Amino acid sequence: MNKKIDPQLLIFAKSMRHTATDAEHLMWQFLRAKHFINLKFRRQHVIAPYIVDFYCHEIGLVIELDGSQHGMDDAIEYDAERTKFLEALDLIVVRYWNYDVLGRTNVVLEHLWQVCTELKNTSP
């Protein structure tokens, strides 16, 4: 079952890389170029029909950074459906609030380190 990804989705993902939020930009500085536990992360990665903020194929991890709009009822429902879809693909999804990434960076990175280490130690 080799599905082609919609080229428009790929173009949109690429454009999102150039319009990153402050939190996404900061997180990328830690994740890029295998700086974080020697894991390769991709940013604004297409997992059709979605675009995830950060993705590590090696350990099956999706990282989502959420702004205040994700606290609205319809966004909460959408995020829950999206997470359910990604988890059905055997992916682990972790979410951090933008304000935590920006204001409590060490706490976020410590939690992410724990998650990644655990997944790295349990992946085949």
Q: What is the tally of structural domains in the chain?
A: 1
2 domain residue, yes or no: no
Parent domain of 115: 7-122
58 domain residue, yes or no: yes
From CA 108, how far away is CA 87, in angstroms rounded?
21
Tokens of 90: 């055997």
12 domain residue, yes or no: yes
In tens digits, the chain (124 residues) has pLDDT values of 346 777 777 776 776 777 789 999 999 999 999 999 999 999 999 998 899 999 999 999 999 998 766 455 667 788 899 999 999 999 999 999 999 999 999 999 999 999 999 999 986 6
1 domain residue, yes or no: no
30 domain residue, yes or no: yes
CATH number where 68 lies: 3.40.960.10
